[in-house]
Amino acid sequence: MSLRESCGVYGVHVEGGEALPYLYWGLLAQNHRGHQSHGFATFSDGIRLYRELGMIPPLSGEELKNLMDRLPGSVGVGSVRYTTSGSADRESLRRNAMPILEHGSQHSIALSLNGNLVNIGELRSSLNLPQCLSDAYALNRLLLRGLEEDGSIQEAVRLCMESVEGAYSTVCLLDDGTLLAFRDPLGIRPLCHGCSRGITAFSSESVGLDINGIEYCGEVSPGELLWVEDGELHRERIRHSGRRAFCAFEFAYFARPDSLLNDRYVYEARVQ
């Protein structure tokens, strides 16, 4: 059995521009993180969703323009996925391709996840989550519950961090156009952010920023939430942990050698 990466995630807010080209190139640079499915979600008078099986394909300029026409908007999230929970038959791969989009009574959320929830059995019971749905649905339903009970992004993410055990680096798009990114308190999976020229982006690996000419600003800290609301970037440490547990396989196998992980180039770690 070969080693498999979990997934690659990307989120971007482009002031006065289109998000889709940044999502496309940022995830194309991370195609190695997920060969089984890919997808994008953007916001323009509601959330628009596109998901397909397989790797992100090379697109011509005309093909990319056609995809932009289907997915307009200045903010969006996306994902490339390997199966880390749920079945791997074709129907299951389509059902669990990310971003996943779920609707509550008051809110809708498109979510992309890189990670695994250790206590998924307990979460399935409390959230009435069918076995055929991946653990990304559990995280999304917790967020929806938190938003609809409290109305605060911070408290919704706090509910997730208090309820979930395991690894999760996550980007989400809310149905009011708010973009958020958060990371589990142990920092098991990578997640970085960058800012340039009115653009704020989040990426599993820094190569997703590099390809778009976005300046690397550092890691999303373990237990930290960052969100872009009305064009403004906010951040808050939601949950602290006394230790870190970054996945060693990221340096050894998963990440591209030209990526920065924990502010260190992967190729330097491999040489040492």
Catalytic residues: 7
E strands along the chain, which residues? 7-14, 37-43, 47-53, 75-81, 100-103, 108-117, 166-174, 179-183, 192-196, 199-203, 216-219, 224-229, 232-237, 260-261, 264-265
Residues β-bridged to residue 112: 171
Residues β-bridged to residue 37: 53, 81
Q: 107 φ, ψ to 5°? A: -135, 160
152-155 contact pairs (CB < 8 A, 24+): 153/178, 153/180, 153/225, 153/227, 153/229, 154/225, 154/236, 154/238
Instruction: Please tell me whether the peptide bond between 57 and the residue prior to it is cis, using omega within 30 degrees of 0.
Output: no
H helix or E strand, kind and range, residue 63: helix 61-70
Q: 258 near 250, Cβ under 8 Å?
A: no
Give the pairing type, strands 75-81 and 37-43: antiparallel
